[in-house]
Amino acid sequence: MFTKNYTAALVVSSGLAMASIASGAMAADMPIKAPPPEPFVLDVHGFFDISLKNDYITPRGLLVTNTGLTTQVLMGLALDIYKNKYGFINNIGIYGGVWNDLWSKQNHPTAGSWNEFDWFTGATVKFGQNWKLGVEYIEFLSPPGNFRIERNLEISLAYDDSSWNPWIPFNPYVKWFNALSGSSTVVVGKMGGTYDVELGVVPTLDMGKNGYPVVFSAPTWVTVGPESYWNRGITGCGTLATTPCSLSNTGVVSSGLTAKVSLESWIPKRLGSWYAKGGFQHYHMLNDSLLLAQTFVGTAATYNTAHRDVTVGFGGVGFGF
């Protein structure tokens, strides 16, 4: 009896051992699912961009300089603090940075070519896979003392249509630019407590799909808003200083073409994602007060010689990480 029980036990134990080995081998062949990533992260990114331009004109249509060379330098840091590609909220990030404008013809006795300094901070929320909401506080400062500090708040909403339109996504967006206080951002407009709205698209063609490391984009927008944003009652839109300006709810319409070339073949990725860029942006002033503003900043001698159409050519380099 002892022998029979021992033999049975040996058979059972051997079977269990073989089953264990077999199940272990099968488990080794099965893919192991990694646990879902923790949505709260702290990924650090940075950006730097330098552009050389023939003119400096703001997105709102103010022609600031149109002689000499304009050099504009942008830099900053961004933090991703939440990521979840499966949820409704996909990404939350915060950022901050500075922007400088240098004008070769300024020759200021103390500031030299330093024409403008801006600093900004903001946050973005990507949701619904394709939407992005942004909030940014930005201050415009003038080292030579040409204008009082302009404090602004911008809220933006953008839609990325590349998921269903991979050929040439339009990337529509809207920006509400609220001028909180300080000098008018278009010189002759209301000083603080006003706003304009930028309605735009950025059609984009990525040639990387065809083996070419270049991306073409055509930023296009128009600005609208209350009449007082562009003119607070300043006259001079004509041959006489007392000639009133024709008021309008539109500001400027702009479109252009930008080519951005990846430099990954020359600069390794461990040093950042470098690029070179070039192109042009054309501006058509819809609002007569933007022409009058040129006589105040010195880009036109008189209203009748002001520039209704301006084309800015540019080139530059930059990187991100």
Q: What is the pLDDT of residues 124-140, one digit of tens each?
A: 999 999 999 999 999 99
Separation of alpha carbons 277 and 181, rounded Å: 34
Of 256, 282, 260, 248, give the one whose Cα is nearest residue 216. Answer: 260
Separation of alpha carbons 286 and 249, rounded Å: 9
Alpha helices in 169-311 (DSSP H): 227-230, 288-297
Residue 209 has pLDDT above 60, yes or no: yes
Q: How confident is the model at residue 200 (pLDDT cuts 50, 70, 90)?
A: very high
Residue 25 has pLDDT above 80, yes or no: no
Q: What is the pLDDT of residues 141-150, one digit of tens each?
A: 998 888 999 9
What is the predicted pLDDT for the residue at 66? 97
Domains of the chain are: 41-320 (2.40.160.40)
Separation of alpha carbons 83 and 294, rounded Å: 46
Q: How confident is the model at residue 304 (pLDDT cuts 50, 70, 90)?
A: very high
What is the predicted pLDDT for the residue at 32? 55
Residue 52 has pLDDT above 50, yes or no: yes
Q: pTM for the full model?
A: 0.86
What is the predicted pLDDT for the residue at 277? 98
Residue 212 has pLDDT above 70, yes or no: yes
Please state the rounded mean pLDDT for residues 108-135: 96
Q: How confident is the model at residue 3 (pLDDT cuts 50, 70, 90)?
A: very low
Looking at 11-20, 106-115, 161-170, 294-303, which range is the least confident one? 11-20
Separation of alpha carbons 303 and 298, rounded Å: 11
